[in-house]
Amino acid sequence: MGYTPEDITAGVALKALVESLPPPGVLQDLQATIDYAAQAVTGQVGVVGYCWGGLLTWRAACLLSNIAAAVPYYGGGMTVASEIARSPKCPVLAHFASQDQSIPLEGVEALKQAHPDIALYIYDASHGFNCDHRAAYNAPAAALAHERTLAFFERTLRA
């Protein structure tokens, strides 16, 4: 899928279908992937996700095992009360955007208040600022978030 209005509509519909699965939904697939990675590498496992993947990254950090660090980028949905109520089991670095029309800053601030241990950054950018296939791409914000993500993983993931 791309980023045309039709693709975005189709993607939102697919996300809604997956989110409607009974628990654990896709989390069992994520856990299987994490477990495989933990056996296949000599170091620890970190997870990163963007948009809905950011929400899944947050849920993985809170609910799954064998994760040493998590980095959600503009995790759509992770700033609602039910997600804020979760507690991560590993260090988390979260990236959000001040001009994100789909993630209100009030929710980002509520997440930050509830979890002061999370490294949380807000960029002067829009949703999807890290994706160079979107009009919202913001090269300076993407570069800074990437630098912070790599430094975070360097600190939290040990071989």
Tell me if 99 sits within 8 A of 73, measured CB to CB. Answer: no
**Is 51 considered catalytic here?**
yes
Name, in order, each residue with C-beta under 8 angstroms of 119's C-beta and a sequence gap of 6 or more. Answer: 91, 92, 93, 94, 148, 152
**Is 100 considered catalytic here?**
yes
Q: State which H helix or E strand residue 58 sits in.
A: helix 52-63
Q: Tell me which of 35, 124, 127, 133 is the catalytic residue.
A: 127
Q: Tell me which of 51, 62, 90, 95 is the catalytic residue.
A: 51
Q: Tell me which of 7, 62, 100, 131 is the catalytic residue.
A: 100
Name, in order, each residue with C-beta under 8 angstroms of 125's C-beta and a sequence gap of 6 or more. Answer: 97, 98, 99, 136, 138, 141
**Would you please indicate which residues are annotated as catalytic (active-site) residues?**
51, 100, 127
